[in-house]
Amino acid sequence: MNDSYVSPLSTRYSSKEMKRIFSNDNKFSTWRKLWIALAESEKALGLEITDEQLEEMRAHIYDIDYEMAAALEAELRHDVMAHIHTYGACCPSAKGIIHLGATSCYVGDNTDIIQMRDGLLLIKKQLVNTIASVARFAEKYKALPSLAYTHYQAAQPTTLGKRATLWLQDLLSDLAQVEAQISGLRLLGCKGTTGTAASFLALFDGDADKVKRLEQMICEKMGFPGAYAVSGQTYSRKVDYNVLSVLGGIAQSAAKFSNDIRLLSHMKEFDEPFTSKQVGSSAMAYKRNPMRSERIASLARYVMLDVMNPAITAASQWFERTLDDSANRRISIPEAFLAVDAILALYTNVISGGTVYPKMVERHLNDELPFMATENILMYCVKKGGDRQVLHEAIRRCSLAAAQEVKANGGDNDLLQRILDDPDFDLTREELDSILDVHSFTGLAVQQTESYLTEYVDPVLEANKSQLGMDVEIKV
């Protein structure tokens, strides 16, 4: 049956790993793990919970009866209560102590944090591999002179590898932000309905120390150093905003890269990976469109706009909590992760599997190099004894004539020949060729690329070498 909407993020774009993290199986089994962590900790601190109850709960983490849960939720209008009853149905002896003292956000919010942490860990791995791919590209093309652009107008030459360091710098910044978010995430913990832990204080007969220990034990069982120091019923929704802001930053970096690739593709200097039977256009059979880079731009736009969702949610919460966050967060958080997962796979695929055409790069550079060389020609000829003002006027005259030939007549840029033919310059072909050595126009591009890779990129890749070697799969 195909009569229901399914998100393209699941069917077309995202990886199995990211979809698993935000799957129902992972979500609801994590709820059960949290209920077990709560019961285990409560027992350790003296509540009357038996080993048999705990064993029963542990035996039924993954056998979730979704039909029962759906039927109960339709009746109760409460997803957590539906799953409490569903869990209790397969754990009859433990039914009475499941969720003891907790509120819905105990499983909901703590699971959200766990999923975001696991999602960020996967994003980090993908980022490291993308950085490695771009670094290989930069190293390979560090000395390939290329026309640079400002305002998308021809500017002083750079190298293709140096341009790639600009992409790398953005990605390294993103990686630092991802790592900061991972290290800073904490669980909500178990603070009850308004964040005061009153229900747990009652369970432990007013023993505040046991309540604090309970929360810390749960955090450690779930792999976290601790919980946020204070909360309402929920953790601050600024946490969601901070996490999605990092994802939005990655989207920005990838969109900038994809735009550069699309422009290079237009100039025939770069082609994306293109399979043998791939169709570029249903009408124009000759076309080879940069569709993967266009997809990066498209998904990145979605993520950047999605960051507004947690921003508005964080700003609009009332006192200790309101429920107008729930429906939005169910959509905005998972889909941001799934989209960035797809974006990074595409980024890695394009940069590692694309084709550079050095002859086209050289051709475009040579089209503009004569104009860029005029100052060097002027200085050389003055050193030979020429009159600077006479030569300046001659260059102006020749440049305008050459530009007119290119723009009005569609001819080649013949400025250099005009200069050779002008007796005011008194230049030989050999002298002109030495002045026009393209490597003299790229400044420190090669050295900057080498030093950036050595000083900034290589240490990051070395520190994360266990993350390298990730395969990416592009479905369509």
Q: 3-class secondary structure for 420-468? A: HHCCCCCCCHHHHHHHCCHHHHCCCHHHHHHHHHHHHHHHHHHHCHHHC
Percent of the chain exceeding pLDDT 90 equals 82
Partners of 187 in beta bridges: 227
Q: What is the mean pLDDT of residues 321-334?
A: 95
Q: Which residue among the candidates 4, 151, 282, 466 is catalytic per the annotation? A: 151
* 274 Cα distance to chain centroid: 23
**How many whole angstroms separate alpha carbon 111 and alpha carbon 256?**
33
The CATH 1.10.275.10 portion of the chain extends over 20-97
- Residue 369 is predicted with a pLDDT of 87
Check if the beta carbon of residue 210 is closer than 8 Å to that of residue 45.
yes
| CA torsion angle 105 67 30 62 (round to 10) | 160
Confidence at residue 45, expressed as pLDDT on a 0 to 100 scale: 98
What pLDDT band is residue 294 in, cutting at 50, 70 and 90?
Answer: very high
Pick the CATH number of 374-435 from 1.10.40, 3.40.50, 1.20.120, 1.10.10: 1.10.40
Helix, strand, coil shares of the chain as percentages rounded to 5?
A: 65, 5, 30
165: nearest Cα among 144, 134, 140? 134
Out of 1.10.275.10, 1.10.8.60, 3.40.50.300, 3.90.550.10, select the CATH number for domain 20-97: 1.10.275.10
Among 125, 24, 128, CA closest to 66: 24
- Identify residue 38 by its one-letter amino acid code: L
Q: Which of 78, 93, 266, 281 is catalytic?
A: 281
Quote the pLDDT of residue 375. 82
SS (H, E, C) 179-244: HHHHHHCCECCCCCCCCCCHHHHHHCCCCHHHHHHHHHHHHHHCCCCCECCCCCCCCCCHHHHHHH
DSSP designation for 145:
E
254 pLDDT band, cuts 50/70/90, is: very high
DSSP assignment letter at 154: E
Q: Is 151 a catalytic residue?
A: yes
Where, residue-wise, is CATH 1.10.40 in the chain? 374-435
Give the CA count within 13 Å in the CB-facing half-sphere of 383: 9
Tokens 């601790």, residue located: 226
Residue 37 identity: A
| Contact assessment for residue 251 and residue 343, using Cβ atoms and an 8 Å cutoff | yes
The Cα 60–Cα 88 span in angstroms is 10
Question: What pLDDT score does 406 carry?
Answer: 86
Quick check: 126 and 345 in contact, CB under 8 A? yes
| CATH class of the domain defined by 104-186+235-357+455-467 | mainly alpha
Q: Where in the chain is CATH 1.20.200.10?
A: 104-186+235-357+455-467
With a CB cutoff of 8 Å and minimum separation 6, the contacts of 327 are none
**Of the listed ranges 94-108, 257-271, 375-389, the one predicted with least confidence:** 375-389
Between these two residues, 413 and 302, which has the higher pLDDT value?
A: 302
Q: What is the pTM of this model?
A: 0.92
Give tens-digit pLDDT for 216-242: 999 999 999 999 999 999 999 999 999
Task: Indicate if the pLDDT at residue 413 is higher than 90.
Answer: no
Tokens of 120: 């960020």
Specify whether the CB–CB gap between 97 and 53 falls below 8 A: yes
Q: What is the largest CA-CA distance in the chain?
A: 104
Render pLDDT for 146-194 as a digit per residue (tens, 0 to 9).
999 999 998 889 999 999 999 999 999 999 999 999 999 999 999 999 9
